[in-house]
Amino acid sequence: MRPLSDFPRVDLTHRPTPLEPMPNLSELLGGPSLYVKRDDCTGLALGGNKARQLEFYFGDAVSRRATTVLVTGAVQSNYVRTVAAAAAKLGLGCHIQLEDRVPGMGEVYHESGNVLLDRLLGAHVHTYPEGEDEAGADGALAEIAEGLKETGERPYLIYLSEEHEPLGALGYVDAAAEIIRQTDQMNVSLKTIVLASGSAATHAGMLVGLRAQGHRDVAVHGICVRRRKDAQMGRVARVVRKTETLLDCVGVVEENDVLVTDDFLGSAYGRLTESGNEAMLVAARTEALLLDPVYTSKAFAGFMDLVRGGTGGPEPVIFWHTGGTPALFAYGPEILSATE
C-alpha cells in the first residue's frame, strides 16, 4: 500500500481519540463488552469525524497555495462547520453552500447549531435550494469559485459527489491503523465496528485501512443515514475502489465486505426516528454520550439492535462515534418533544 506520508497533510485533530468501555450499556443490553471510539473528541470546533478527512483536503489546498476553500452540504452539516473551522485555523477564506435537504424545518434549525458556528467562524454563506442534487450543488459551487478567481482568489473546492478523488477517506485509512494499535494495547478483540454510513468516506476508508493491514475478519457495519441500502452499498463500493486506487492497493476489499442496513434510516435524511430517539436517550442516560439526530442516533440504534440480536457474536463490539454535537441544538424542539 502506498504510504499516507505521500499525501500532503495538515494537523487538525487530537489523535488518538479515546477508545472507552461502556459498562453500563453492556449490562443493560446483556450482550458482549461494548466500546465507543470517541471521534466526537477530535477537538476542532466541537469535534467530529470530518476533521480527520479534512487533514488531507486542506493539506492538498495548502500545497496548491489556495487562498480560500469552498464546500457544499446540508444546512446542519458537520462537514461544512468543520471546513469553516479548519479554514479559520489555517488563515484561509471560506465559502460554504447550504443545501435544503430537510424541508419544513423552523427558525431554530436554520439559525442554531452548526449554522451558528459557521457564522461565528467567519464563513461566507451561500444557499442552494435542492437537497438531493449533488451534481447541481457541485456545479453551483464551481460557479462561486469562478467568481472568486475574478477577484484574484485561488479557490480550492471540496466536492460533494463521489466523482472526485476521495482524499478524505485517507483520514479513515489512518484511523483504521489507530484502532488496531489501541485494541492491541488494551487487549480488546477487534472483530466488529458499527458506524454511520453517509458520504461513504468514513466507511470506505475504514474498510480499506483494515484490509490493507491484514485485518480481513473485522466486520464494519454501516448504518444508512442518507440513502437506501442498495444505493449506499454501491456508493461505498465505488468509494472503496477509488480509495484503493489512490493507495495502489486495488482489490484488498472484497465485494461482500460492504455491509449496510437502512433499517434505521426512517423516512428521510435528517428526520428523527423513534429508534433514534431511544438511542439518544439510552446513550445519554447510561454512558453520558451525546448523539445527534442526523447521524449518530440512527447509527447507535443500529448498534444496539445488532447487540440485542447477537449478530456481532460474543466478541466486543465497537461503536464509532462520529460526532455531530452541534446539531442537537438545531433540533432542540423536536428532541424535547421526544423526551416527554
Tally of CB atoms within 10 A around 150: 7
Take residue 286 and report the three cell numbers written for it.
Answer: 447510561
Name the phi and psi angles at 224, rounded to 5. -65, 130
77 is catalytic: yes
Q: Are 282 and 304 in contact (CB under 8 A)?
A: yes
CB atoms inside a 10 Å sphere around CB 173 = 26
Q: Which of 158, 175, 148 is nearest to 54 (CA)?
A: 158
Distance of alpha carbon 17 from the chain centroid: 15
Task: Specify whether the CB–CB gap between 145 and 138 falls below 8 A.
Answer: no
Active-site residue identified among 33, 63, 77, 199:
77
Distance CA(35)–CA(148), nearest Å, equals 46
For residue 149, give the amino acid letter.
K
Q: Which residues are catalytic?
A: 77
